[in-house]
A and B are shown apart, each in its own frame.
Chain A
Amino acid sequence: MRDVDVLIVGASLAAAAAAKRTVDAGLETVILERKELPRHKICSGILSPRGHRFLLENFGPLPREVLHEPTSCRGVTFHFPCRVEMPMDFFHGTTPHLHRKYSDYWAIQRSGAEAHDRTSFAGLEDKGDHVLVRAVRNGEPIEYRARQVIGADGPSSLVVRAVYPDYTKQIPWFFVGQKFHEIIDCPLSPEYFHFWFHPGLGHYTWSHARDGRQIVGVGFKRGDNFARKHQVVEAYLRDKHGVQLKPADDDHEGCAENFGPSLINRYIFGKGNVLVTGQAAGFLNMIGEGMSCALHSGAISGEAIVEAQRRNRPVQEIYRKMIASEVRRCSDQWNPLKIAFDRPHEADFPEALMKLSWRERKLVLRDMWNFIVLFKEFKWGRQIAAAALQRPLLGGYPLQKWL
């Protein structure tokens, strides 16, 4: 049995950030990863400027290998069924287009933590003063004994399932998938990430350029058909935007997403000596960018462990107090009052809206409303409204709703 201070499950950006803090503080830290490193990860790779700054300040300038082509993204363009386009540049300039396979590996290496790849998490038992973790490496069972465990293993987190077996049944699940096409002709600007507020296309529809190909991505409630949804979007891009693409290559990919917790302040931070962070905890920025909040929440989980050990306080107590700032920042992005009267995003939506004519603004707001109605079945409206009203009164979002 390997005895360590901190065991982190998942070799993600959140894990690297957490490990950076614990390793710096001199804690022996091991990261478990079920695949072989560097491992593939489905992601748009468009990191927000805030996430870029975190990577720079904590791990140094990014090497070329961790970037796709184009290496940067200027901003986001919103498209609406009324055919109005709203390009919005990121604050502080362009942002990197990460190749997650290598960016995560680079960050893990830079964190200084020991990574055990091809090692699958299989369960845990919190013994109060330590946690016993079961894992499997090359088919052989292996055990770790850690003072604290961090679950940084993404939306379908096995750590979350181990701690809250019923959680997966409590939230709606989505599927996002992307296909890669050789380009014949693509009028969509390769400098922007394109997103469609179109209820007819799906819950989450995007496209952008990568390594000479065009990504066509779709997201929908789990249970629908990826190929059919993708076909609809491809036809829409061809008919409405004049995007001429060759048939998709074979390397399409997809994964389950827990979109929702950050909208309704229903985060999941773990129990006892087990902390959950990153997208596993429910952090997801607007337009589905989860990397920057994964980095920051991951770092906070590492800080909480260090701080709890120094103060001799329960780690959950410290973590939940520390994570409040990241919850505020992330949930503010979904808070209608904040969107209307503040600037919670890293691009200026209100300014872009004001650049449109009155007629276009009306059309855009109508289309956005129709898009939002697509999410009606999840009954999040009242919860979002309640959280938005509590925000100015409490100075944050209520902690009681967190798991």
Chain B
Amino acid sequence: MDIPLVEPGTVGPCPVAPDALQGIVRQQTNPARWNGEGWPGFVAELRTAGVDVAESASARGIFATDAGGTAYGMPHGVVVARSAAQVAVLLRAAQAHRVPVTARGGGLTTEGESVAYGGVLLDMTGMSRVLTIDRAAMTVRTEAGIYWHGLAEELRREGLDYLSAPLNMTSSVGGTLGVGGIDVNSARLGCSADQAIALQVVTPTGEIVECSDSENAELFQRVILGYGQFGVITEATLKIRPYTPLSMHYYYYSTLREAIDDLQLLDRNDASDYSGILTIMDCAVNLLVAFDSAEREAAFKANWEKQLRGHGEFGFALCMVGHYARRPWRLGEALYLLKRKQAVFPEFRRPEFHRDGRMDDRTVVFSRAVWKHWGSRNMVIPDLATTADKFVEAVERGNAVCRKYFRHYTLYCVGIKLRADHAAHYEMSCIPPGAEGWAYGCEFEPMIEGEVYSRDHFQSFKNAIYDIGVDMGASYYRFGGMMKGYIRRVFGDALVDRHLAMKRKADPAMILNRDVIF
């Protein structure tokens, strides 16, 4: 049988009628396992060069899946990253032997992006040292395999903080810079990737290159938010700031629309340092507002707090009692809200993390709460990223999909301040085309609660959410891996083909993170 070879990233010939699967790109999205051709020669070359390759089942088995827990793959071998020079040796050999290399930090991808379907898995957590902290320039130079909580630990000793990091702190710095990273201060400080000043990158052909906005700017543009396609980030220089505890305020809404309007009001007017929405279903919508300084907090209270339509905790509880008293058939939902409130709220108010009424420090509080109350064996978090004006509609449509597929779920909405000088970084990324000023993202996260769902059920749910994105001209945070069929649908062939041409030039054998985007 003649099975035509399809070049990675391209759409192969398809003899089924052109009107089949309308709107769906004829692309394999669950990758075929690499056949292992050339593996022994590759390993021999690496060992001669002093690079250790672990091939035991136990060494490989721990990387069988990612945080999503639905994609499974098994690398032929694992290399723990030790230095840029070692990574360069690995990539040069991989290029010569055409062996796929999958880079992995915290493994917090959800669509199998950090799962190796054969080939070598490069475990970046071996490069996790903080190299220098420059208080004068307010920068830190760190190896990129470090987890954010590891970096926070080092910075706190100096009374310092990074600008922004994902709420889930076991993601690595390198991985985050490669995809974006959204924090509750992103509406003010931009996505986590935007705090990178300079990077040391090992290109897919094994050159070690320093890049920044002024040096090798084109590589810098491609690597930031580049989903690991144009190089392995081995070191990063990040902006830092003095550490401050937070004063937190919570406002409660019963409709998504009002909460989102208020969130955008705060963002537009730079009225808060931190802002985001976290919900229990669509019934209890919490607008979180926080401040680094008493001055900013006072200005908010004087100018903006009265304009918010949310309630305080007590007022909202009364509203809920009235709401469910009129709808006794929804008692189950009311009980769930109560149970969830009792479990989650204390986590954000634990006395050991509060001093003088201020949260100290959010890194621990948020990360701990995220894992404990939102984490499960399956992190299935489809999302939509839109321009500010389309955001309410996107969230409401996505919310309707959540209601259809799962009993309980949560939504997490946050704004992302865009840097005008980083427009090139945002190309073909989670930042939606046409976004100016701010982009907004919403994650739709079902509560798994010990249930077991098939991958197909999750996939149908994700497809339903992502179809909204296609319809609305949005983008996604997680469009790689199993969801890469949406890339051409949302970005169009011209842009994707341009990036594919750049990828081919940078990575002739298409070995680095090959099934993630292309």
Contact = CB atoms under 8 A, between A and B. Distances in A.
B61 A26 contact: yes
A60 B28 contact: yes
Interface string A308-335: 0011000000100111111000000000
A6 to B, nearest CB: 13
Interface string A195-229: 00000000000000000000000000000000000
Pick from A23, A61, A300, A303 the residue with the most CB of B within 10 Å: A61
A266 interface: no
Given A24-B73, A58-B30, A64-B15, A52 B3 contact: no
Contact of B28 (A26, A59, A63, A93): A59
Interface in B449-474: 451-457, 460
A106 interface: yes
B332 to A, nearest CB: 12
A95 B61 CA distance: 38
Interface string A32-54: 00000010000000000100110
Contacts of B1: 38, 63, 65-66, 102, 105-106, 109
Interface string A5-32: 0000000000000001101111000000
A72 interface: yes
B72 interface: yes
Interface stretch (B6-14, B284-292, B339-347): B6-14
A56 interface: yes
A65 B455 CA distance: 29
Contact of B17 (A60, A71, A326): A71
A26 B117 CA distance: 9
B383 to A, nearest CB: 20
How many chain B residues sit at the interface, stated as a range, is: 35 or more
Given A24-B33, A26-B60, A321 B452 contact: yes
B177 to A, nearest CB: 28
A378 B154 CA distance: 73
Given A24-B73, A300-B456, A62 B14 contact: yes
B19 interface: yes
A234 to B, nearest CB: 29
B4 interface: yes
Contacts of A38: 1
Given A56-B27, A63-B3, A109-B1, A25 B15 contact: no
A106 B3 contact: yes
* Chain A interface SS verdict (over half): helix
A282 interface: no
Nearest to B35: A112
Nearest to A58: B30
A303 B455 contact: yes
Given A57-B28, A65-B2, A72 B20 contact: yes
Q: Is the interface of B mostly helix, strand, loop or mixed?
A: loop
A163 B71 CA distance: 31
A88 to B, nearest CB: 15
Nearest to A70: B17
A126 interface: no
A154 interface: no
A110 interface: yes
A21 to B, nearest CB: 7
A134 B334 CA distance: 56
Contacts of A296: 454, 456
Contacts of A321: 451-453
B64 interface: yes
A93 B73 contact: no
Contacts of B28: 56-61
Nearest to B19: A93
Given A24-B72, A26-B64, A61-B12, A52 B452 contact: no
B6 to A, nearest CB: 6
Contacts of A306: 72
Contacts of A150: none
Interface string B20-41: 1111101111101100000000
A160 interface: no
Nearest to B455: A303
B486 to A, nearest CB: 12
Interface in B423-459: 451-457
Interface residues of A, number: 51
A57 B29 contact: yes
Given A56-B28, A60-B28, A71 B16 contact: yes
Contacts of B180: none
B485 interface: yes
Nearest to A395: B407
A134 B64 CA distance: 31
Contacts of B2: 63, 65
B456 A60 contact: no
B16 A72 contact: yes
Given A49-B20, A92-B23, A112-B33, A322 B452 contact: yes
A26 B74 contact: yes
A279 to B, nearest CB: 17
Contacts of B456: 296, 299-300, 325-326
B454 A322 contact: yes
A92 to B, nearest CB: 5
B17 A61 contact: no
Nearest to B74: A26
B340 to A, nearest CB: 20
Contacts of A26: 57, 60-61, 64, 72-74
B20 A95 contact: yes
A93 B61 contact: no
Given A25-B64, A110-B32, A326-B456, A94 B74 contact: no
A92 B25 CA distance: 12
A96 interface: yes
Contacts of B19: 93-94
Question: Which of A49, A57, A105, A323 has the most chain B CB atoms closer than 10 A to its own CB?
Answer: A57
B20 A93 contact: yes
B453 to A, nearest CB: 7
A67 interface: yes
A307 interface: yes
Contacts of A303: 70, 454-455
Most B CB atoms within 10 A — which of A26, A59, A67, A296? A26
A20 B74 contact: no
B12 A21 contact: no
Interface string B62-81: 00110000111110000000
A325 B446 CA distance: 15
Given A20-B30, A26-B74, A322-B453, A52 B485 contact: no
A13 to B, nearest CB: 14
A180 B71 CA distance: 43
Contacts of A67: 15-16
B13 A96 contact: no
Interface string B152-195: 00000000000000000000000000000000000000000000
Contacts of A56: 21, 24, 26-28
10 closest residue pairs by CB, A with B = A26-B74, A25-B72, A321-B452, A72-B17, A60-B28, A325-B457, A93-B19, A322-B454, A93-B22, A64-B15
Given A63-B3, A92-B20, A325-B453, 7 more contacts: A24-B30, A24-B117, A38-B1, A57-B27, A59-B32, A109-B3, A110-B32
29 contacts: A52-B21, A53-B21, A56-B24, A57-B30, A57-B482, A58-B28, A60-B3, A60-B32, A61-B11, A61-B12, A61-B13, A61-B14, A61-B27, A63-B1, A64-B15, A72-B16, A92-B20, A92-B24, A93-B21, A94-B19, A96-B16, A102-B1, A109-B1, A110-B32, A296-B454, A296-B456, A321-B452, A323-B454, A326-B456
Interface of A: 20-21, 23-26, 38, 49, 52-53, 56-67, 71-72, 92-96, 102, 105-106, 109-110, 112, 296, 299-300, 303, 306-307, 310-311, 318, 321-326, 395
